[in-house]
Amino acid sequence: MQKRTLGKSGLEVSAIGLGCMGMSFAYGPPKDRAEMISLLRTAVDRGMTFFDTAEVYGPHTNEELVGEALAPVRDQVVIATKFGFQLKPDRSPGWLGVNSRPEQIRKVADASLKRLKVEVIDLFYQHRVDPEVPIEDVAGTVKDLIWQGKVKHFGLSEAGVQTIRRAHAVQPVAALQNEYSLWWRRPEEEVLPTLEELGIGLVAYSPLGKGFLTGKIDANTTFEGSDFRSLLPRFAPDALKANQAMVELLAELAAKHNATPAQIALAWLLAQKPWIVPIPGTTKLSRLDENNGALDLQLSAEDLEEIDSAAAKISVHGDRYPEHIEQMTGR
């Protein structure tokens, strides 16, 4: 497995990581625990070293799963988790709002350490910006946790450029986690140039468009109530039908390269910057191996130009999140 370093932080990870959320949360009912533990350990056997979770996934249960699965190989892996949501008292899915008060961050860090069965959190992200807490206080709290030996690196998720700059001035930000793919390219406008300037890595979540860019979803696909895509405007029937043009583009390029649409989408992302690391999620070994196959796919400058030119002519339909969730991003 190829390795990449997230910006100037010195944090080296596998060039493709594994998003673990869907094993416990958001994409239908939780998957079989034993099967997911086996998948996580097989991922390590395949050379993958970067695993992403959060306290809100489950909630808590995904951290517990990841912790149990990776405990035997702790010295071989980098585990990222997140704080920043106020969870429901009954531990039911969802959240009551954002909460990045210093005392809450410290509480979550201690709890995450126990659930993950680790002595230090490799990468600790603020999951969403809390408008009620100055980002300097957040960064300062994580800085203290780093000094205490509970955290190694500080990260942000879906933060705007001014927030990134203010946080980075207090405690260097190792990585920003942001949605980035061929059908969500807004980070290219301001975020990517800022990260390059400051030496911050980008961890790209939903690099396959929450499954859409794999080509396995069409206008007739339906999602059960426990699958959060049932709530996303971009996955409404009309939008799915309109957005097939993007999948058709990837399918054409995949045929040309003897690859799959998912591999083209990931190879395109990897070619953008050497400090970008995608974290596609999966619960199937076949998909894990397919995704990792993108590392063997070298897109030429001509290929990349062809993709950009064709993608520029495609208008993506539907907002990526409902308004109340979208308002929590980009501050």
State the pLDDT confidence band at 72, using cuts at 50, 70 and 90.
very high
- Alpha-carbon distance of 67 to 85, in angstroms, equals 20
Catalytically active residues, by annotation:
57
| Phi, psi dihedral angles at 59 (to 5 degrees) | -75, 160
Per the structure, the complete domain to which residue 40 belongs is given by 3-209+273-297
**Exposed / middle / buried, residue 137 (Cβ in 10 Å: 0-12, 13-18, 19+):** middle
Q: Give residue-wise pLDDT tens across range 219-244.
A: 889 898 888 898 899 999 999 998 99
Give the three-state DSSP class for 12: strand
Whether the pLDDT of residue 62 is over 90: the answer is yes
78 inside domain: yes
pLDDT score at 88: 80
Q: Within a domain: residue 216? A: no
- pLDDT of amino acid 121: 98
pLDDT, residue 97, reads 87
Q: Confirm whether 287 is domain-assigned.
A: yes
Unique residue bearing structure tokens 């859409």: 212
Q: Is the residue at 217 inside a domain?
A: no
CATH of the domain at 11: 3.20.20.100
The string of pLDDT tens digits covering residues 260-300 is 999 999 999 999 999 999 999 999 999 999 999 999 998 99
Residue 312 banded pLDDT, cuts 50, 70, 90: confident
Residue 238 forms part of a structural domain: no
pLDDT the model gives residue 82: 98
Give a yes or no: residue 242 inside a domain. Answer: no
Number of domains comprising the chain: 1
Residue 271 has a CB neighbour count (10 Å cut-off) of 17
How do residues 141-151 score in pLDDT, each as one tens digit? 999 999 999 99
Q: Is 308 a member of any domain?
A: no
pLDDT 10s digits, 78-115: 999 999 998 888 777 776 889 999 999 999 999 999 99
Q: Look at residue 42 and tell me if it is in a domain.
A: yes
